Chains A and B, each alone.
Chain A
Amino acid sequence: MPDKKMTSFVARQLGFAYGLYEASFEFPASGLITVAGPNGAGKSTLLGILAGLRSPYRGSCTYESREIRQWPKREFARRVAFLPQSVRLQFPFTVEEVVLMGRTPYARGWFQTDEDRLAAEESMTITDTLAFRGRDFRSLSGGEAQRVILASALTQRPEALLLDEPATHLDLRHQLSLYRLLGELAKSLLVVAVTHDLNLALQFSHRVMVLEDGRIAGDGTPQEVLNPPLIARVFGVQATVHGTWMTYES
């Protein structure tokens, strides 16, 4: 059995009804891992299983040596936080209310405690969202909203952070600052991010997992995995790698 402190997620022959087949891997307790692959490759399905949101799955997938489906939901939410690709709110929640929702796994009653508010303030400071804590979430730009969602996840004080295409709505500057922040966070916790941007994966991640048709096509350091032959086979484009960035030709 893998050492509990060295590993977080361990999957064996992991599969789902659609989009994921016989995936086996071990994730460490910290570091930035990016999951890449073409549309429909099974990236979001994998992330959903890791987040405890997709079941039943085939095979085995454990977090800290305990099968994900057997974790009590609140206890699991104190360890693993999930960021959806986007959040579209219909109702006028303020930024602070959205961030404080991250404290639900710790709630012992109806009202937030000083500890909850402190955790929310810390997360908003880290993500630079404190200035608009009183604003209606729906009035935020895509980039601001993404940072607020990240703040809400950090308020859960997780050991593992799972992000589904976190840079989708961000401009270039915010993409870089987000991945820099994820890199900082990855020093103390596990960050798994689904991305379509191979340059971000190459530049910031400690490990890249590439999925193709629901199967793992490559798993290792960015330099090992993101090589032109694999990119040509999986993505159907010719890539040229220049150190920590690459260019493409179709």
Chain B
Amino acid sequence: MSRSVLLSAAVLVAVVIAAPLAGSSHIELGRAFAGVSPDHEIFFYARLPRVILALLGGAALSVTGVLFQCMLRDPLAEPYTLGVSSGASVGAVIAICLGWRATGVASLAGAALVLLMVLGMAVEGRRLSSFTLLLTGVTMNSMAFAVILFLHNLASFSQSFAISRWLMGGLEAVEYSTLAWLAVVVVGVSALVTAYAPQWNLLAVGDDWAASRGVSTVRLTAMGYVAGSVLTGLVTSLTGPIGFVGLIVPHALRLKLGADHRALLPCAFLLGGAFLVACDTLSRTVIAPTEIPVGVLTALCGGPFFLWLLKSRRRSLWL
């Protein structure tokens, strides 16, 4: 287990060191650290913040994917299954349509609203059903999609372009102060979730299975839903929806590591981060200077990879 975590950490470190050096303009690390222009500006203000955002985003989405698949006992669950990112998208689309500049804040508000609505619907007294959570989340997704289509239909040409661009998902350089609080939340919440890894193993088998072994399933499920939603909502508010990361990273890891969440969660954090950093690097270098939205690239890479997994390892995935 510790070997897998160390290997994943090594991969992440290698990707994070290499990624900021790749791009349409050649830069040298020595000149960047010496403050020589333009290497310094390209490295520290264009590429490094983006790499850190990709790392945190990929880590958060992968950890949430593992978590939701376990809680819902559904191999096809992903961070966007329970509606929070749809809420974030609705918030962002409303902000675009109303001409607000604070798209991220509106998106965060949308995510928070959906989180509270889904939780309110799924909690009955002191019970919390993961099945109701799933149904409510899926319904929220459909309703949010309808609202987005409606607003898109009313939007002007430029607004329509902005909406489409946002919904594709993409990474842009953000302030270091924004990255600092994102890092605190993503690392903190992921560490909290990972601390409960043995209990997630039991919940992945079943509610009664976990409860009869002394686990408080209602509290654990509620904690998992809130934790996954906070991670997804925050990341989506900064990047838009980026598909497939939360689906393929967990499944690829399960094929190699098995289902023990004590190895799965830390490796999902590290390799999820590395995966999105690698995809983002490709997205800005493959047809440079034009960029491919990273959400499009993860779907283009992730889709065929997932189909290959389904075809070749169906028995291992048990689908």
Is A105 a contact partner of B214 (Cβ separation < 8 A)?
yes
B317: nearest residue on chain A (CB-CB)? A92
A126 within 8 Å of B (CB atoms):
no
Give the A interface residue count (CB, 8 A). Answer: 32
A81 CA to B202 CA in the complex, in Å?
Answer: 14
Question: From residue B265, how far is it (CB to closest CB) to chain A in Å?
Answer: 11
A84 CA to B208 CA in the complex, in Å?
Answer: 8
Chain A residues positioned under 8 Å from B201 (CB to CB):
93, 97, 101
Chain B residues positioned under 8 Å from A77 (CB to CB):
212-214
Is A98 a contact partner of B213 (Cβ separation < 8 A)?
no
| Interface flags, B34-63, vs A, CB<8A=1, else 0 | 000000000000000000000000000000
List A58-116 residues whose CB lies under 8 Å from chain B.
73-78, 80-82, 84, 87, 89-94, 97-98, 101-102, 104-105, 107, 110-111
B262: nearest residue on chain A (CB-CB)? A110
Is A104 a contact partner of B204 (Cβ separation < 8 A)?
no
Bin the interface of chain B by size: 20 to 34
A87 CA to B259 CA in the complex, in Å?
Answer: 16
| Interface flags, B57-75, vs A, CB<8A=1, else 0 | 0000000000001100111
B74: nearest residue on chain A (CB-CB)? A90
B199 within 8 Å of A (CB atoms):
yes
A138 within 8 Å of B (CB atoms):
yes
Is A104 a contact partner of B199 (Cβ separation < 8 A)?
yes
Name B259's contact: one of A73, A91, A156 (CB within 8 Å). A91
Chain A residues positioned under 8 Å from B318 (CB to CB):
89-92, 138
Knowing A101-B201, A110-B197, say if A74 contacts B70 (CB, 8 Å): no
A137 CA to B213 CA in the complex, in Å?
Answer: 19
A51 within 8 Å of B (CB atoms):
yes
A222 within 8 Å of B (CB atoms):
no
Knowing A92-B316, A97-B201, say if A104 contacts B213 (CB, 8 Å): yes
A52 within 8 Å of B (CB atoms):
yes
Chain B residues positioned under 8 Å from A76 (CB to CB):
214
B211 within 8 Å of A (CB atoms):
yes
Name A90's contact: one of B204, B214, B316 (CB within 8 Å). B204
Knowing A93-B258, A93-B259, say if A105 contacts B206 (CB, 8 Å): no
Is A73 a contact partner of B216 (Cβ separation < 8 A)?
yes
Question: From residue A56, how far is it (CB to closest CB) to chain B in Å?
Answer: 9
A17 CA to B126 CA in the complex, in Å?
Answer: 16
Residue from B195, B205, B260, B316 with most neighbouring chain A CB atoms (10 Å) = B205
Is A90 a contact partner of B206 (Cβ separation < 8 A)?
no
List A187-225 residues whose CB lies under 8 Å from chain B.
none
Is A53 a contact partner of B258 (Cβ separation < 8 A)?
no
Residue from A75, A78, A110 with most neighbouring chain B CB atoms (10 Å) = A110
Is A73 a contact partner of B214 (Cβ separation < 8 A)?
yes
B209 within 8 Å of A (CB atoms):
yes
Chain B residues positioned under 8 Å from A93 (CB to CB):
201, 204-205, 258-260
Chain A residues positioned under 8 Å from B188 (CB to CB):
none
Is A89 a contact partner of B216 (Cβ separation < 8 A)?
no
| Interface flags, B258-273, vs A, CB<8A=1, else 0 | 1110100000000000
List B188-235 residues whose CB lies under 8 Å from chain A.
195, 197-199, 201-202, 204-206, 208-209, 211-216
B254 within 8 Å of A (CB atoms):
yes
| Interface flags, B297-319, vs A, CB<8A=1, else 0 | 00000000000000000001010
A74 CA to B198 CA in the complex, in Å?
Answer: 14
Knowing A84-B206, A87-B206, A94-B258, say if A104 contacts B211 (CB, 8 Å): no
A97: nearest residue on chain B (CB-CB)? B260
List B60-93 residues whose CB lies under 8 Å from chain A.
69-70, 73-75
Name A104's contact: one of B74, B202, B208, B316 (CB within 8 Å). B202
Is B259 a contact partner of A97 (Cβ separation < 8 A)?
yes
Question: From residue B222, how far is it (CB to closest CB) to chain A in Å?
Answer: 16
Chain B residues positioned under 8 Å from A138 (CB to CB):
318
Chain A residues positioned under 8 Å from B260 (CB to CB):
93, 97
List A137-194 residues whose CB lies under 8 Å from chain B.
138, 156
Chain B residues positioned under 8 Å from A94 (CB to CB):
258
Chain B residues positioned under 8 Å from A74 (CB to CB):
214
A92 CA to B208 CA in the complex, in Å?
Answer: 19
List A111-128 residues whose CB lies under 8 Å from chain B.
111
A104 CA to B204 CA in the complex, in Å?
Answer: 14
User: What are 11 A-B residue pairs whose CB atoms fall within 8 Å in the complex?
Assistant: A52-B211, A77-B212, A78-B214, A81-B212, A92-B254, A92-B259, A94-B258, A104-B199, A104-B213, A110-B195, A110-B198
Additional 19 contacts, C-beta under 8 A, given A53-B208, A78-B214 = A48-B208, A51-B208, A73-B211, A73-B214, A77-B212, A84-B208, A89-B318, A90-B69, A91-B75, A91-B254, A92-B259, A97-B260, A101-B209, A101-B213, A104-B199, A104-B214, A107-B198, A110-B195, A156-B213
Top 9 A-B pairs ranked by shortest CB distance?
A77-B214, A74-B214, A91-B259, A82-B212, A105-B214, A104-B213, A73-B214, A93-B259, A92-B259
